[in-house]
Amino acid sequence: MSKVILITGASSGIGLETAVYLAKKKFIVYGCSRRLDRMQPIISAGGFALKLDVTNENEIINIVEHVIKIEKKIDVLWNNAGFGLWGAVEDISIDRAKYQFDVNLFGLARMTKEVLPHMRKKNSGLIINTSSVGGKIYTPLGSWYHSTKHAIEGWSDCLGFEVKKFGINISLLQPGMIVSEFGNIMLENLEKNSKKSPYHKLNQAMIRGLKKNIQNPIGSHPIVVAKCVEKIILSKNPKKRYLVGYGARLMLFVRGFFGDRIFELFLKAAGLKG
């Protein structure tokens, strides 16, 4: 019997690529996103598209009930919805910072809490949470984004210990640099949040780097993530963490082996100077 997979953040990037890939592999895929019009490729591949805002608890309840009513189960939940809020701490309002956490962390938690009872009932299930290599390292001006990813790391570890006895596995996906529209969103937020900033020099260095990477993308194609997610789903004993994509292992190695001082020199060598 095909596994039923529920994916949030499925309208672009790794979410869309993976939803289409898995649907073509004959998994039963439900892709969810606020942008319903962007998920037609999932439907064309044989999957289903549902409108969902992960900050809306009622929508989450309705989505999970809808899938359970039709499929009688959810085998895999991939919490992939998220975005990057970039700018200096001093430049970003606390309300915007709270929204970053509401989407990246609490949206993930809402989805998980709604799906868990159904997995416990079956005594089986897999939850994949999209962290990032940024959940273990950092980049300048990404304080709020990185803090959500660091939080997801600890949250997932605790959850994994709690639900293991119910036959439920928790895996963290830690992408490195993936070619997607993530950089465009970073750029948009950074330009919005950095006007008249005392951190103008650092902001401009980051903006130049982002524009350069958007014009000539450096990173892995999203398909590498799709294949990694498939590997996790098919594994009898999934690992807790999966590093995937360009630069992920290198960045962790530099910080872990050489320490924080060398890691900061690594960032400055990339042009990110205050």
Is 195 among the catalytic positions?
no
Is 145 among the catalytic positions?
yes
Instruction: Check 12, 131, 147, 220 and give the catalytic one.
Output: 131
Instruction: Check 30, 145, 199, 242 and give the catalytic one.
Output: 145
Is 197 among the catalytic positions?
no
Please identify which residue in the block is written with the tokens 């970053």. Answer: 100
Instruction: Check 147, 149, 199, 242 and give the catalytic one.
Output: 149
Q: Write out the catalytic residue numbers.
A: 11, 131, 145, 149
